[in-house]
Every structure is written in structure tokens, then in C-alpha cells.
């Protein structure tokens, strides 16, 4: 028997234990972030369960309503958004929530108000739900700028002011990737325990990759530099091998593969989407959910930037 392995199996580094270890690096911390994270984890576990049984529980298909982008909302979209909003509010650690599925920001009522602002897309890639392609939740966390005075400015801070960011991918396994600014770590849900276990410590994106990931169907809309870059991936002039094209069309899955295997994922600005693929929710004040801003945070902290194009926000 491999006793070392057995010991490893009993000495589990759960995401909560990891967060508590991280908390130890901040003596002033009172555990609020760990409590907030545990509620995000609850939302991810709920969505993972719902996604796994979607086909059986009639959760697939349209919810009969459209979101602010005019997109048909899928039942799982609606359910995921509701569970994350309720989990984040009930944590008692949030003050402003921005969801890709809600037209306006949610300001938490005073009795439950905390000091964190959370931007999230509860279920990115939802157009892939019906065919079983991996989808994901994306989140980013800011600290309120002025105690007891939550405003929209709190969620329009630069991405570099984010204190944590991550995504949870619902695929062949459920993997939560988190950065709190001290490296990027991946946790896989063990359904038998109901716990996210550290399986990918200190992820670093490989310096070189053999994969490029882009929707080639948009090529006619690309600007010249993008077209030239993709052309070099396909027809390299330096004697290297051509890169392989892998495009899942579900950003969390494309980014996760890029983070682990290297290469590049891009959704470049083009004539159709002048700012790349952003989410706009126009209310009395324009705010936007930039899933890639959150992903930006994960990848730079995850390692080499050489293959990662910056999105200008």
C-alpha cells in the first residue's frame, strides 16, 4: 500500500483550508473573505449539481425570458443567477453585486451589507448548455472604496485593484480556479465529499504553446494585426510547426485549457464587437461586465504573459 498517498488522501487541502492558510498571511484579517469565498463555493456546488442533472431535470432549454443583452435566457442561466445572488447577499459580506444577467447593480440592504463588491457572470457559455459543452461561472472581487458608502464606482475600479478573481468550470469535472493575488490554484470538486480539493497548486501558464484559440468565423471582421497574427499561427515563417486550432466557444473552457496547456485564446475586437466580446447592461449609468477582465487577473498571476494579449478596457 502507498502509505504516503494514503496520508495524502486524509490530509486534504480543501479550498476553505487553503483560504484560511492565505488568511494567515494577513494578521488583520477577520475571516470575512473566507466567509465570502465559502458562499461563492456554495453557488458553484449548486450550479455544478444543476448542470450535471440539467438534461434529466428539464433544466435545459429557454426560460422564456431575455436578459439585458436581448439574449434568450436559459433556465440554467436564471437558476444560476438566482443562487449566486442569494448566496452572496446571505453571506453578509457584500455591498454591491454586478451580474451579467441583471440590468442594474444590486446594492445589499444595510442589515446584510459587508465590505466586498462582486462582479460575476453566473453561467458563461450558456449557449452551449443544450449540447453538453463545458460552461462556467466567472467572478471578481473588489473591496469597497469608502466604508458604508457603496456606489457604482466600487465596481468600476481597474482590474488591478481586484483582490481576488476566479472561475469555476462545469465540465468532465468541476474545477474552481482562484487567484487572491498570490499565485493561481485549481481545486476539483470531489462529489463524494462535496468539497473542492486542491489538485492544481500554483498554476503557471506554459511559456510556449502549440494551440491558438479564436473563432475563425469572425476573420472577415478582424483588423490587420489580428489577421496577421493568426496567419502566422497557421503559416509560420520561422521554420516552427503550425499551431493547432482549438476553439470550444465557451470562454471558461478555452481559458482553462490555455492556462494549463499554454498557447493563446483571443476574442479580438472587430467590426462586429469593437471592444471584443463584452457584456453591456445599459441602465441609467452604463456599466459593463468584462468577463475577460477577470480572466486577465487570473492569467497574468498565473504566469508568463508572452502569449497573452491584453484586452484594453
Ligand X SMILES: O=P(O)(O)OC[C@H]1O[C@](O)(COP(=O)(O)O)[C@@H](O)[C@@H]1O
Residues contributing to the site for ligand X (CB under 6 A): 71, 124-127, 215, 249-251, 267, 277
* Nearest CB to ligand X, comparing residues 34 and 67: 67
* Nearest CB to ligand X, comparing residues 17 and 277: 277
* Nearest CB to ligand X, comparing residues 188 and 215: 215
Grid coordinates representing 45 are 456546488
Least separation in angstroms between residue 71's CB and ligand X is: 5
Least separation in angstroms between residue 138's CB and ligand X is: 9
Least separation in angstroms between residue 234's CB and ligand X is: 18
Long-range interactions of 14-18: CB distance < 8 A, separation 24+: 14/187, 14/195, 14/196, 14/197, 14/198, 15/41, 15/176, 15/178, 15/187, 15/195, 15/196, 15/197, 15/198, 16/41, 16/195, 18/185, 18/187, 18/198
How far is it, in rounded angstroms, from Cα 35 to Cα 271? 43
* Nearest CB to ligand X, comparing residues 71 and 304: 71
* 41, 46, 132, 225, 260 from 60: Cα distances, Å: 23, 16, 10, 39, 29
Long-range interactions of 14-20: CB distance < 8 A, separation 24+: 14/187, 14/195, 14/196, 14/197, 14/198, 15/41, 15/176, 15/178, 15/187, 15/195, 15/196, 15/197, 15/198, 16/41, 16/195, 18/185, 18/187, 18/198, 19/180
Least separation in angstroms between residue 288's CB and ligand X is: 14
* Nearest CB to ligand X, comparing residues 15 and 211: 211
Least separation in angstroms between residue 211's CB and ligand X is: 15
Sheet holding 264-265, edge to edge: 244-245, 211-213, 264-265
Least separation in angstroms between residue 97's CB and ligand X is: 18
Least separation in angstroms between residue 42's CB and ligand X is: 22
* Nearest CB to ligand X, comparing residues 114 and 263: 263
* Nearest CB to ligand X, comparing residues 93 and 256: 256
Packing angle, helices 75-90 and 32-52, rounded to 10: 160
Of 297, 292, 288, 293, give the one whose Cα is nearest residue 105. Answer: 288
Contacts of 6 (CB under 8 A, 6+ apart): none
Least separation in angstroms between residue 135's CB and ligand X is: 7
* Nearest CB to ligand X, comparing residues 265 and 287: 265
Amino acid at each position: 500500500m502507498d502509505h504516503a498517498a494514503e496520508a495524502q488522501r486524509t490530509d486534504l487541502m480543501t479550498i476553505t483550508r487553503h483560504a484560511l492558510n492565505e488568511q494567515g498571511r494577513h494578521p488583520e484579517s477577520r475571516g470575512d473573505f473566507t466567509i465570502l469565498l465559502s458562499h461563492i463555493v456554495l453557488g458553484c456546488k449548486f450550479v455544478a449539481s444543476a448542470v450535471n442533472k440539467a438534461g434529466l431535470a428539464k433544466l435545459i432549454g429557454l426560460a422564456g425570458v431575455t436578459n439585458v443583452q436581448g439574449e434568450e435566457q436559459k433556465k440554467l442561466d436564471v437558476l444560476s443567477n438566482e443562487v449566486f445572488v442569494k448566496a452572496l447577499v446571505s453571506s453578509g459580506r457584500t455591498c454591491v453585486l454586478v451580474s451579467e444577467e441583471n440590468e442594474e447593480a444590486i446594492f445589499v440592504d444595510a442589515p446584510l451589507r459587508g465590505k466586498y463588491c462582486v462582479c460575476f457572470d453566473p453561467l458563461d457559455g450558456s449557449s452551449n448548455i443544450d449540447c453538453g459543452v463545458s460552461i462556467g461561472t466567472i467572478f471578481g472581487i473588489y473591496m469597497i472604496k469608502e466604508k458604508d458608502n457603496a456606489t457604482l464606482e466600487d465596481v468600476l475600479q481597474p482590474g488591478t485593484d481586484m483582490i481576488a478573481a476566479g472561475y469555476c468550470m462545469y465540465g468532465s469535472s468541476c474545477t474552481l480556479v482562484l487567484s487572491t493575488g498570490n499565485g493561481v490554484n485549481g481545486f476539483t470538486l470531489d462529489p463524494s465529499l462535496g468539497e473542492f480539493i486542491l489538485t492544481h497548486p500554483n498554476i503557471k501558464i506554459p511559456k510556449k504553446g502549440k494551440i491558438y484559440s479564436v473563432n475563425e468565423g469572425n476573420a472577415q471582421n478582424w483588423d490587420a494585426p489580428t489577421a496577421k497574427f493568426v496567419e502566422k499561427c497557421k503559416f509560420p515563417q520561422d521554420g516552427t510547426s503550425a499551431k493547432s486550432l482549438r476553439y470550444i466557444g465557451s470562454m471558461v473552457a478555452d481559458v482553462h485549457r490555455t492556462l494549463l496547456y499554454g498557447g493563446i485564446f483571443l476574442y479580438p475586437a472587430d467590426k462586429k464587437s469593437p471592444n471584443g466580446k463584452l457584456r453591456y447592461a445599459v441602465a441609467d449609468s452604463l456599466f459593463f461586465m468584462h468577463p475577460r477582465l477577470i480572466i486577465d487577473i487570473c492569467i497574468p498571476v498565473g504566469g508568463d504573459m508572452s502569449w497573452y494579449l491584453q484586452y484594453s478596457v
